[in-house]
Structure 1
Amino acid sequence: MKTIAACVEELLISQPFLEEALFRNIINFSALAEELQQPVSDMLRKPVKTGAIMMALRRYSPPPHLRKSRQMQSVLKELGDITVRSNLVDYTFQNSDTLIKSHARVLKDFNPKAFYGFSRGIYESNIVVSKTEAEKVLHSFEAEVLIGSQNDLSAISIRLPENNSKISGLYYQIFKRLAWEGISLYEVISTTNEFTVLVENHMVDQAFSAIKTLHIN
């Protein structure tokens, strides 16, 4: 049987911005308890008093990445160079038995100064290239099924600390900052020590500024 504490925790986890604001003590417990009263009552299928919700809020234990906020701030200051590449094109192709051969044709005599990114999923694959290489991609993949494409994209790449894979919540901080600024991501490309987001060209300045503030906040 669900408890009030379990319901409160479920609601907070589903709203990470609210969860963080609660941990930072910038939310009024009484006001939040009133806001959660109806959802908690609906989950338990019986009336719940705000006092009981307030008690659950005060006893709530935040996740590790919030409890270690000071450590996270130190890690964010260690983020490396931020590089921006504009005028990119993204193509999505349906996976097939010949896709790798088509991909190999693109890489043959590929301009080393051009941007290139490739990711393969279960059902589809994406290739991101500089606009100057777009025709070569279309020619090399002419026998493949093109699911979709997007022009006028920019890539913002961030060098991550070498131990980033051991840091819980690092990606959350990046995504949170971008979401807070209302920046939608077209695609994400990640390697071991590098993280790249693709946004539309008109949003690149705003996205760059948002990511840059991670160094100083």
Structure 2
Amino acid sequence: MKTVSNCVEDILISQPYLEEALSRNIINFSALAIELTEPISQMLKKEVKPGAIMMALRRYNPPVALSNSIKMKRVIQNLGDITVRSNLTDFTVKNSDTIIDNHAKILERINQESKLFYTFTRGIHESNIIISSSLKSFIENQLQNETFLAVQDGLTAISINLPKDNSKIAGLYYHFFKRLAWEGVVLYEVISTTNEFTILVEDEYVDKAFTAIKKVKA
């Protein structure tokens, strides 16, 4: 049978910002208890008093804050260089029987220009190419028989090198996404390899995004 404590835990887990603020003791327990009275009463299908909720909040034991983890601190301190590449175009096309052959021809052209920014991702239903805008016309021509789902210009990629043991640390990307969300940065695309993390943003968000990632490193 579900209890008030169970409901409090469910709500806090589903709202990590709230859980973090609670763990840092920067939330008024009484005010939060009043705020949660109605949703918890609905969850339990009976009237619940704010006092019972406040007691559950005070007893709640959040997991050790990610920023206080020894491993997490080490990884954050060892984050590598931040690289910014602008003037990019993002192409999203529907997967087809010819997309791989067409992509092979695109690779032949890319191999002739070493300074280009380029990524390719193949999903279940669609494929994505992000490339320097100087090759936009070439890509459109090469994929003219494919079905374009989206084409977006005016993009910038911000990449950061990650320490080799980053894949063993739970919650690392949370630090990036939390900071970017707080700064109001809208992510157009996210690209990740084993030791490199890249976000793609529209040009209007570049300064905010760069500052946000720098704050994670700080």
Shorter-chain TM-score range = over 0.9
TM-score when normalising by structure 1: 0.95
Deviation at 1:67, TM superposition (A): 5.6
Q: TM-score, normalised by structure 2?
A: 0.95
Within-5 A mapping of 1:19-34: 19-34=19-34
* Offset at residue 68 of structure 1 (A): 5.8
User: Aligned ranges for residues 4-83 of structure 1 at < 5 Å?
Assistant: 4-64=4-64, 66=65, 69-71=68-70, 72-83=72-83
What are the ranges of 5 or more consecutive residues in structure 1 without an aligned counterpart? none
Counterpart contact for 1:190–1:196, Cα < 8 Å:
yes
- Trace 1:1-217 onto structure 2 (pairs within 5 A): 1-64=1-64, 66=65, 69-71=68-70, 72-110=72-110, 111-216=113-218
Equivalents in 1 of 2:29, 2:69: separation in Å? 23
Check whether the contact 1:87–1:130 (CA below 8 A) recurs between aligned residues: yes
Return the letter of the residue paired with 2:91.
Answer: Y
Partner Cα separation in structure 2 for residue 109 and residue 89 of structure 1:
16
Gaps of 5+ in 2: none
Separation in structure 1 between the aligned mates of residue 149 and residue 96 of structure 2, nearest angstrom: 12
Structure 1 CA distance for aligned equivalents of residues 59 and 128 of structure 2: 45
Cα distance in 2 between the residues matched to 1:166 and 1:30 = 38
Large movers: runs of 4+ above 3 Å: none
The RMSD of aligned alpha carbons is: 1.3
The answer (yes or no) to whether the contact 1:30–1:54 under 8 Å persists in 2 is: yes
Q: % of aligned pairs identical?
A: 60
Quick check: 207-216 or 49-58, which moved more?
A: 49-58
Q: Matched residues in 2 for 1:102 and 1:62: separation? A: 51
